[in-house]
Amino acid sequence: MKRFLATASLLAATCLMPVAAHADLKDTIAARQKIFGLENVDPATGGLPKDKVVFSWLSNSTFAAAVEGRVLYLDTFVTRLEVTPGRTPFVIKDMVDLAPEAILLGHGHGDHADNAAYIAGKTGAKIYATAETCGVMAQDLERMKNDPAVMNDAVAKLDPASKVNCTPVTAAGSTPGTQILQLDVLEPQACVIAFRHLHSVAVPPDPTFPPTPVKIIVDPRDADLFPKGVALTPDEKATSPLTGQMNLETAGKPGGSESLFFSFILRGGSHFSFVWHNTAGALKEGKGQGWDGTPEDGHRIVAVLKALPPTDLQMGTASSGNFNNNGLRDLIQYQEALRPRIFIPNHITTGTATREASSMSVYAGYLEQLDLMKMPKENRPAVRWLVDPTDYLKPIVFSTGEAAWKDGRKEAMLDSLCKQPGAEVHLH
């Protein structure tokens, strides 16, 4: 696919990232209409609303986002990336044709970072990830460029000269919650702050409340759609992977569990703000997968969460490696620190706590656990739960100028926190 370009007139008209060159524009418009909805895409230019933030759920913790017209991915894994549209109603070519300018990766495990290097190689999208994951991204692209199954396919092939442009978010091996960065992604529309936090991990049962049991329901269609023994995605080591399904080889690679938390606040309008994280560690104990910390580590991260700009929307994990022992305690403790107005779950289709078709069971458990943890009702977010596959590709739209998002603290925090993209931020 050609590097995406744009004319001055298009930028003036839409004030968004470069859309594809003319030869690719038709495909980009079609992909954006499929993913963001006909009503949100200019049918002539592919432009997206300058006064809205539009999310579209692609499965698990992966969302396509259009932030005042700027297109990016939050994770890139898709639970069932069929070569032809199936239960997941799109293919990887649609993800490429969307023409994202950036990809943000919460951490480097395959059920989050799959497809990122491929999409970046095809589009030139800039990846933001941990330093460890950035190294794996570069290796993965080179692997695919040397894979005949990819390079001999007219649609899937990569430009041999393509490279991964990956910005390391925090230094390799840094302590969670100690290095907080302002990123240049989405400037000047939004200030984006990111830091390392904790990946989910099992810790002993918390004696202060009982965990909520959740019955996992199996989709009755699975037996027909995917007979026993048929993998949902091809073997990463297969000599002939299915065209259009590009997997990240994560086994033995660094960067898997090192996890990033992202906070966004728009500079204009009513300063709509949201956070996105695809895992939630044990804040009470200060432990996460790959980080055998102490309560002090958890307290430090809680302090960072509380110091972020007021959160209108939290897009956070509904899956946890701690689920069997402590239910969704860890997610709710993130919410106690953030105090979001609205909660949209992610990590719903893979993971310890969740699998496809179990979403409503987890929702019931989440609501029960709020009661068990005695969170005051006035502190609970309004919940907009997601259910697969019915909520795939259904636009979730927020108007950025709505008075509901106004909060006097936001203006002051923008002035004090968001001064220099690429610099460290000092939260108080």
Structural domain containing residue 346: 8-417
Tens of pLDDT, residues 58-106: 999 999 999 999 999 999 998 877 767 778 899 889 999 999 999 999 9
C-alpha torsion sign, points 172, 175, 178, 184: positive
For residues 369 and 68, what is the distance between their CA atoms, to the nearest angstrom?
Answer: 35
Count structural domains, the chain. 1
Which one has a higher pLDDT value, 8 or 356? 356
Strand-pair category, 62-67 with 70-74: antiparallel
Tens of pLDDT, residues 372-391: 999 999 999 999 999 998 99
Would residue 424 count as lying in a domain? no
Tens of pLDDT, residues 390-404: 999 999 999 999 999
Task: Supply the DSSP string of 148-182, one letter for each residue.
Answer: HHHHTSTTTPPPTT----EEESS-TTPPTTT-EEE
Give 292-298's long-range contacts (Cβ < 8 A, gap of 24+).
293/176, 293/198, 297/175, 297/176, 297/177, 297/198, 298/198
Would residue 122 count as lying in a domain? yes
For the cut 70, the answer to whether the pLDDT of residue 244 exceeds it is: no
Model confidence at 3, pLDDT cuts 50, 70, 90, reads very low
For the cut 90, the answer to whether the pLDDT of residue 28 exceeds it is: yes
Would residue 232 count as lying in a domain? yes
Tens of pLDDT, residues 299-325: 999 999 999 999 999 999 999 999 989
Tens of pLDDT, residues 101-153: 999 999 999 889 989 999 999 999 999 999 999 999 998 899 889 888 788 88
Torsion angle, alpha carbons of 243, 245, 246, 250, to 10: -140
Does the pTM of the predicted model rise above 0.85? Answer: yes
Would residue 286 count as lying in a domain? yes
Q: What is the pLDDT of residue 45?
A: 96
Would residue 303 count as lying in a domain? yes
Q: What is the pLDDT of residue 227?
A: 55
Neighbour order of strands in the sheet with 396-399: 166-168, 126-129, 102-104, 70-74, 62-67, 52-59, 396-399
Model confidence at 222, pLDDT cuts 50, 70, 90, reads low
Tens of pLDDT, residues 328-349: 999 999 999 999 999 999 999 8
Question: Mean pLDDT, to the nearest integer, of 233-240?
Answer: 44
Question: Mean pLDDT, to the nearest integer, of 400-426?
Answer: 91
Mean pLDDT over each residue of the chain, to the nearest integer: 86
Would residue 3 count as lying in a domain? no
For the cut 70, the answer to whether the pLDDT of residue 248 exceeds it is: no
For residues 354 and 388, what is the distance between their CA atoms, to the nearest angstrom?
Answer: 11
How many other CB atoms are there within 10 angstroms of residue 382's CB atom?
10
For residues 383 and 44, what is the distance between their CA atoms, to the nearest angstrom?
Answer: 35
Would residue 426 count as lying in a domain? no
Which residues lie below 8 Å from residue 210, measured CB to CB, with a gap of 6+?
372
We report the CATH number of the domain holding residue 402 as 3.60.15.10
* Tokens encoding 49: 């609303």
| Nearest C-alpha neighbor of 80 from the set 389, 408, 407, 321 | 389
C-alpha torsion sign, points 174, 290, 79, 63: negative
For the cut 90, the answer to whether the pLDDT of residue 240 exceeds it is: no
Q: What is the pLDDT of residue 210?
A: 77
Would residue 422 count as lying in a domain? no
